[in-house]
Amino acid sequence: MELFDQIDLSRVPEHVAIIMDGNGRWAKSQGRERIFGHFNGVEAVRASLKAATRSGVRYLTLYAFSTENWNRPKEEVDALMNLLVQTIVGEVDDLDRNEVRLHAIGDLENLPDACRSELFGAMERTRDNERVNLILALNYSARWEMTHAVKEIVASGIPASRITGQVISDHLSTRSFPDPELLIRTSGEMRISNFLLWQIAYAELYFTDILWPDFNEQEFFKALIDFQGRERRFGKTSEQITPRTGLNVIRRRKTGT
């Protein structure tokens, strides 16, 4: 049986986020420079987007470049930025044709001009697409995001007594998207690396030893199957959660369902 056939399409996570890790190690294993791994990682992005679309995932967020990545060797950073521009230019037609809407989160104003121009152009080109949302986290870190949100809240004059979790969420760069239900990290590393720290409070975490350039549709399906085998309680007990829908039993009784 194909892995895809083992997925219950009625219980697919609406939002999947991925920390794409292992490009450098993959390139080293091939006896090549690190950028060779990043170049080949583009195919894994295509495969993940295809698998997400086929499965019915509505939001796919990819950690493409963190604020800490500026500390890498200049040659690698420059090559990454050039690759990003080339990839956006090369993929925008397919994104538009497949009804994919492109978004970006992070400190976008401090990206190189060429990168920002192509990125904003692609976002505008795909803004009316509704099949799936591809969100690139660029020059992003969760601590930067939360610091930026606090500054916005203070500047808006909202008193401390009115600051709630929802107010904070409304000032994050992800305010237009639902929180991820599943976070995938490749390459065997088991850490979050400053990614969506607020938003993944109740996400299921899935770690795989697969290096990012080797991540494909089947690996994505494996993560979905693993996700569907878990019980998501959100602080409740197993007795309060129905096995199939995850809805609160008390709430179901009140609605008469």
Cite the active site residues. 21, 69
From the number of C-beta atoms within 10 Å of its C-beta (0-12, 13-18, 19+), residue 185 rates as: buried
Confidence at residue 252, expressed as pLDDT on a 0 to 100 scale: 31
Who has greater pLDDT, 181 or 244?
A: 181
Confidence at residue 257, expressed as pLDDT on a 0 to 100 scale: 31
The distance from CA 130 to its chain's CA centroid, rounded to whole angstroms, is 17
Confidence at residue 22, expressed as pLDDT on a 0 to 100 scale: 97
Q: What is the 3-state secondary structure (H, E, C) of the chain?
A: CCHHHHCCHHHCCCEEEEECCCHHHHHHHCCCCHHHHHHHHHHHHHHHHHHHHHHCCCEEEEEEEEHHHHHCCHHHHHHHHHHHHHHHHHHHHHHHHCCEEEEEECCHHHCCHHHHHHHHHHHHHCCCCCCEEEEEEEEECHHHHHHHHHHHHHHHCCCHHHCCHHHHHCCCCCCCCCCCCEEEECCCCCCCCCCCCCCCCCCEEEECCCCHHHCCHHHHHHHHHHHHCCCCCCCCCHHHECCCCCCEHHHHHHHCC
- CA of 5: how far to CAs of 11, 14, 15, 45, in Å? 13, 18, 20, 22
Domain 12-232 has CATH 3.20.20.70: no
Number of alpha carbons in the 13 Å side-chain half-sphere of residue 28? 5
Confidence at residue 99, expressed as pLDDT on a 0 to 100 scale: 98
The model's confidence at residue 43, banded by pLDDT at 50, 70 and 90, is very high
Confidence at residue 253, expressed as pLDDT on a 0 to 100 scale: 32
Tell me the mean pLDDT in the region 159-176. 97
Whether the predicted pLDDT of 216 surpasses 50? yes
Whether the predicted pLDDT of 57 surpasses 50? yes
pLDDT above 70: percentage of residues in the chain: 90
CA distance 247 to 256: 13
What pTM was estimated for this model as a whole? 0.90
Are 26 and 211 in contact by the 8 Å Cβ rule? The answer is yes
Q: What are the structural domain ranges in the chain?
A: 12-232
- Among candidates 55, 29, 18, which has minimal Cα distance to 218? 55
Whether the predicted pLDDT of 248 surpasses 50? no
Whether the predicted pLDDT of 103 surpasses 70? yes
Query: Which of these ranges, 8-17, 171-180, 227-236, has the smallest mean pLDDT?
Result: 227-236
Confidence at residue 10, expressed as pLDDT on a 0 to 100 scale: 96
Whether the predicted pLDDT of 241 surpasses 70? no
Whether the predicted pLDDT of 250 surpasses 80? no
Q: Which two tokens mark 145?
A: 């995001």
- pLDDT, tens digit (0-9, with 9 covering 90-100), for 113-138: 999 999 999 999 999 999 999 999 99
Tell me the mean pLDDT in the region 188-192. 97
Whether the predicted pLDDT of 200 surpasses 90? yes
The model's confidence at residue 231, banded by pLDDT at 50, 70 and 90, is confident
